[in-house]
């Protein structure tokens, strides 16, 4: 039986050429796998037909938008995950769901190898291959761009000489990856980190310098998940899409950062994540009133480690699974409403309410009705500072010898 290889297929030039390129280089049949995670553009049927027209023996397509929002974006939201304090893991969380479907297709069509279009310089090669070897330990991995020397110039020549049903153009100066959680742009003149991004880079967000009138929105959560916007029930996918639209119109969610890649280099990245950043902001403010202090402090540390694991391609790791359990436990009381104003590139919270809030007005107020017993404060301070006081006395005694 002829060997079969599953290829992560985007519908673009490189992966379209890779179908025939892989076949010629390995003698295997290629099954193209396209997964919709809200990246927009062409329909799955158009992509499927192009894959077949480029020589794939089978084409597996999946509408994974709700799956992506529910099972990947929502855990990211619950963790308030921002890699290095900036990046909401736009590409990093899409790779595991694609891997899941690649392995599923490999089983369905009897493939022995999975192929992806990553280079040897980025993070995604790690995310794909670690995920594949975790879910399908018996499967092999190849990367045509990295392993078979498939360059952009070679891809254009190949497509034209084989009359493939794909547009061939000169290399776009940018490398772009996008899904419903956000959009990532890199390379080109952005590699000079002194160069400011130009307006043509952005697509999900309008320029914040000339915003429309302020947009006030109320986001309702149940156990850490958005369930309504302005009183209208929404699914997680609908919540992200609606805030992409409204926060994006105000220029919210633009991120320009130099980040530490897993392969050991620093890379300049431009991100747009209006819905993600608005939701994370709202979610964090709701946690501020519903999660106990020590639990909240520790959760911040867990969220940072969670983001690092996911960025590093460890979505399916035992540690990430254990951190998921802790984070999920913290969300049992994260229910309520957050009111925020979207304007001029900012999402500013100006109201919060929750039936499970730990905020006690009578304890917090300085007016009549205050139930806080201030007489207890003096003794508390004495005990709280006791260890430091004793250590200081020791230090002064020793220094005086």
- pLDDT above 90 covers a percentage of the chain that reads 81
Domain match, 212 and 162 both = no
Question: 215 and 107, same structural domain?
Answer: no
Instruction: Give a three-class secondary structure readout of the chain.
Output: CCCEEEEECCCCHHHHHHHHHHHHHHCCEEEEEEEECCCCCCCHHHHHHHHHHCCCCEEEEEECHHHHHHHHHHHHHHCCCCECCCECCCCCCHHHHHHHHHHHHHHHHCCCEEECCCCCCCCHHHHHHHHHHHHCCCCEEECHHHHCCCCHHHHHHHHHHCCCCCCCCCCCCCEEEEECCEEEEECHHHHCCCCCCCHHHCCCCCCCCCCCCCEEEEEEEECCEEEEECCEECCHHHHHHHHHHHHHHCCCCEEEEEEECCCCCEEEEEEECHHHHHHHHHHHHHHHHHCCHHHHHHHHHHHHHHHHHHHCCCCCCHHHHHHHHHHHHHHHHCCEEEEEEEECCEEEEEEEECCCCCCCHHHHCCCCCCCCCHHHHHHHHHHHCHHHHHHHHHHHHHHCC
Burial of 202 (0-12, 13-18, 19+ CB in 10 A): middle
**Any domain includes 326:** no
Q: What is the mean pLDDT of residues 252-278?
A: 96
10 is in an annotated binding site: yes
Please give the pLDDT value at position 184: 95
161 shares its domain with 180: no
Say which of 14, 254, 268, 352 is annotated catalytic: 14
Q: How confident is the model at residue 170 (pLDDT cuts 50, 70, 90)?
A: low
- The CATH number covering residue 368 comes to 1.20.5.470
Last residue of a domain, one of 171, 189, 208: 171
Q: Do the Cβ atoms of 205 and 274 come closer than 8 Å?
A: yes
Is residue 11 a known part of a binding site? yes
- Which pTM was predicted? 0.94
Active site residue 321: no
Q: Is the dihedral of CA 110, 146, 91, 133 positive or negative?
A: positive
Residue 261 counted as domain residue: yes
Q: Is residue 114 part of a domain?
A: yes
Residue 28 and residue 138 in one domain: yes
* Overall number of domains in the chain: 3
Task: Tell whether residue 385 is among the known ligand binding residues.
Answer: no
Whether 65 maps to a domain, the answer reads yes
Checking if the pLDDT of 169 tops 70, the result is no
What is the average pLDDT across 153-175?
77
CATH number reported for the structural domain that contains residue 38 in this entry: 3.40.50.620
Which residue did the predictor score with more confidence, 176 or 248? 248
CATH number at residue 231: 3.90.1260.10
pLDDT at 187: 83
Domain's final residue, options 171, 200, 216? 171
Identified catalytic residue from 48, 124, 246, 254: 124
pLDDT of residue 11: 86
Active-site pick, 146, 147, 175, 261: 175
Q: Which of 10-14, 94-98, 389-393 has the lowest mean pLDDT?
A: 10-14
Tell whether 339 and 211 lie within a shared domain.
yes
* Residue 183 clears pLDDT 70, i.e. is over it: yes
Residue 13, pLDDT score: 83
* pLDDT tens, residue by residue, 205-244: 999 998 999 999 999 999 999 999 999 999 999 999 999 9
Do residues 192 and 141 both lie within one domain? no
Consult the annotation and say whether 106 binds a ligand.
Answer: no
| Residue range 305-333, pLDDT digits in tens | 999 999 999 999 999 999 999 999 999 99
Given this model, what pLDDT does residue 172 score? 65
In the predicted model, what is the mean pLDDT of the chain?
94
The answer as to whether 230 is a domain residue is yes
Query: Is 124 a known active-site residue?
Result: yes
Q: Which domain holds residue 196?
A: 176-291+334-353
Active site residue 337: no
The reported pLDDT for the residue numbered 188 is 85
pLDDT beyond 70 at 401: no
One domain for residues 163 and 197 = no
9 is in an annotated binding site: yes
Does 13 count as an annotated binding residue? yes
Residue 199 falls inside a structural domain: yes
Domain end among 138, 171, 204: 171
In a domain, 320, yes or no: no
Give the confidence band of 168 by pLDDT, cuts at 50, 70, 90. Answer: low
Partners of 337 in the beta sheet?
A: 220, 353
Q: Are residues 285 and 206 in the same domain?
A: yes
pLDDT band at 347, cuts 50/70/90?
A: very high
Contact present, 25 and 148 (Cβ < 8 Å): yes
Annotated ligand binding at 12? The verdict is yes
pLDDT at 145 exceeding the cut of 90: no
Which pLDDT does position 126 carry in this prediction?
96
Is 127 annotated as contributing to ligand binding?
Answer: yes
In this prediction, residue 79 has a pLDDT band, given cuts at 50, 70 and 90, of: very high
The predicted model gives 120-131 an average pLDDT of 93
> Percent of the chain at pLDDT above 70?
98
36 annotated ligand-binding residue: no
186 and 164 belong to one structural domain: no
Ligand-binding site membership of 119 (annotated): yes
Give yes or no for a contact between 310 and 127, defined as CB atoms under 8 angstroms apart.
no
Mean pLDDT of 9-25: 88
- Asked if residue 4 lies in contact with residue 110, where contact means CB atoms within 8 angstroms, the answer is yes
| Among 95, 183, 246, 268, the one annotated catalytic | 95
Same domain, 112 and 24: yes
Do 267 and 368 fall within a single domain?
no
In a domain, 247, yes or no: yes
117 labelled binding-site residue: yes
- Are 180 and 167 in the same domain? no
Sheet strand arrangement including 336-343 = 232-233, 225-229, 215-222, 336-343, 346-353
Per-residue confidence (pLDDT) for residue 146, from 0 to 100: 86
């Amino acid at each position: 039986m002829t060997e079969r290889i599953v290829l992560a297929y985007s519908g673009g030039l490189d992966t379209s050429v890779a179908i025939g390129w892989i076949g010629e280089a390995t003698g295997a049949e290629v099954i193209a796998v396209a997964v919709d995670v809200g990246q927009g553009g062409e329909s799955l049927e158009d992509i499927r037909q192009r894959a077949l027209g480029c020589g794939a023996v089978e084409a597996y397509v999946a509408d994974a938008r709700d799956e992506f929002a529910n099972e990947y974006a929502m855990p990211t939201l619950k963790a308030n995950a921002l890699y290095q304090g900036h990046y909401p893991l736009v590409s990093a969380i899409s790779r595991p769901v694609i891997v899941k479907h690649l392995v599923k297709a490999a089983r369905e069509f009897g493939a022995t190898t999975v192929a992806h279009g990553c280079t040897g310089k980025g993070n995604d090669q790690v995310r794909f291959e670690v995920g594949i070897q975790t879910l399908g330990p018996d499967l092999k991995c190849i990367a045509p761009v990295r392993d078979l020397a498939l360059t952009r110039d070679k891809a254009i020549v190949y497509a034209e000489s084989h009359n493939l049903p794909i547009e061939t153009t000169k290399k776009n100066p940018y490398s772009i990856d996008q899904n419903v959680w956000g959009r990532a742009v890199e390379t080109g003149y952005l590699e000079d980190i002194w160069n400011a991004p130009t307006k043509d880079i952005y697509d999900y967000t309008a320029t914040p310098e000339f915003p429309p009138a302020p947009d006030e929105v109320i986001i309702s959560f149940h156990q850490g998940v958005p369930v309504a916007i302005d009183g209208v029930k929404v699914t997680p996918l609908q919540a992200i899409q609606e805030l992409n639209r409204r926060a994006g119109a105000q220029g919210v969610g633009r991120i320009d950062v130099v980040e530490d890649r897993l392969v050991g280099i620093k890379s300049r990245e431009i991100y747009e994540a209006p819905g993600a950043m608005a939701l994370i902001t709202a979610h964090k403010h709701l946690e501020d009133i519903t999660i106990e202090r020590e639990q909240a402090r520790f959760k911040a540390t867990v969220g940072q480690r969670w983001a690092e694991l996911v960025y590093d391609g460890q979505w399916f790791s035992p540690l990430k699974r254990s951190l998921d359990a802790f984070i999920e436990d913290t969300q049992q009381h994260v229910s309520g409403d957050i009111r925020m104003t979207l304007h001029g590139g900012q999402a500013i919270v100006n109201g919060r309410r929750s039936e499970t809030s730990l905020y006690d007005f009578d304890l917090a107020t300085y007016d009549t009705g205050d139930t806080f017993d201030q007489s207890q404060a003096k003794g508390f301070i004495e005990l709280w500072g006791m260890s430091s006081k004793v250590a200081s006395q020791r230090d002064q005694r020793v220094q005086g010898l």
